[in-house]
Amino acid sequence: MPNEAAIETRIMRNREKILGIGDSLCIRRCRMGPDYGVADLVFLPQGGKHKLVIVEAKQASSADAKIKVVGQLLMYYAGALELGLAGVRLLKDYADANQKYASSRHRSSIRAITGGTSSPEASWAALRKGRRLRPDNIRLVAALDSDPGVVLKSTLTALHDHHGLQVSVISVVGRNDLRLWQPGRGPGVEREQSSVEGHAAEPWAECR
C-alpha cells in the first residue's frame, strides 16, 4: 500500500484526470491559519468557482484514519473561510514563483508566502485581505489508499444532506489507479458521475 507521501504524489500527478484541475498550482504542507493545522495539499485552480481544493491524505490501515481525516478537513475548511481573495492571489503568486519548492515535502513558511512580511500576525492579515471566501469556493477532498467504506460514506453523506458540506474521497488503489467518490444530492444517495474516461455514469470515477 502507498504511504501518505506516495498518495499525495499520485494525486498531484493525476489532478487533471481525477479532479479536473490540471492547470492548478499547488502548495504542499500549506498552513491553513495560525490555529487550524497544515493541509497535505492545497491546489489553486486558475479558473472556476473553487479557489482552493484542499486534500488530506491518510493510510486507511491506521485504526482512526477515517475519523482523523474528516476532523482535519473540517479544521482546514474553517481556516480557509477566513482567507480573502487577495490572500488567494498571494498563495498563487508564491506557488507560481516557487513551483519546485512549493510542491515539495518541505513546509513553506507563511512569511515566504506573503513576501517577507514583518510578523506572523502581518502575514495572516495579508492573507485575509479581499472578499472572504464563500463555502462554495472551497473544495474538500479526503485521500485514502482504500475504498472509503460504508461508515465514512454514510458520515460524508450526512454532512452533505444535512449541512450542505461536500467532502469527496479519492481512493489511490494503484500507481495510476485513482477513484473518486462523492456524496449524492438526496438522503443516502451517492452522486452518480461519469468516469474520467467518459464511460457510463458510476458512483466512482476511475483514473487509470
66: pLDDT confidence band, cut at 50, 70 and 90? confident
pLDDT of 1 reads 60
Order of strands, edge to edge, in the sheet holding 167-174?
Answer: 25-31, 38-44, 52-58, 138-144, 167-174, 177-181, 204-207
For 2-16, how does the pLDDT look when each residue is reduced to its tens digit (9 = 90+)? 788 999 999 999 999
For position 193, what pLDDT does the model report? 41
Confidence (pLDDT) at 3 = 87
Query: pLDDT value at position 63?
Result: 67
Position 79 scores a pLDDT of 96
Beta-carbon-side half-sphere exposure of residue 140 (alpha carbons within 13 Å):
24
Contact 115, 48 (CB under 8 A): no
Q: What is the pLDDT of residues 22-55, one digit of tens each?
A: 999 999 999 998 889 999 999 999 999 999 999 9
Say if CB 80 and CB 128 are below 8 A apart. Answer: no
Confidence (pLDDT) at 194 = 30
CB atoms within 10 A of CB 164: 9
| 44: phi then psi, degrees, rounded to nearest 5 | -120, 90
Q: Is 204 a residue whose pLDDT tops 50?
A: no
Residue range 74-118, pLDDT digits in tens: 999 999 999 999 999 999 999 999 999 999 988 988 889 998 877
Per-residue pLDDT of 142-198, as tens digits, reads: 999 988 989 899 999 999 999 999 999 999 987 778 999 999 744 444 443 433 333
For residue 7, give the C-alpha cell. 498518495
Ranges 101-110, 113-122, 126-135, 196-205, most confident: 126-135
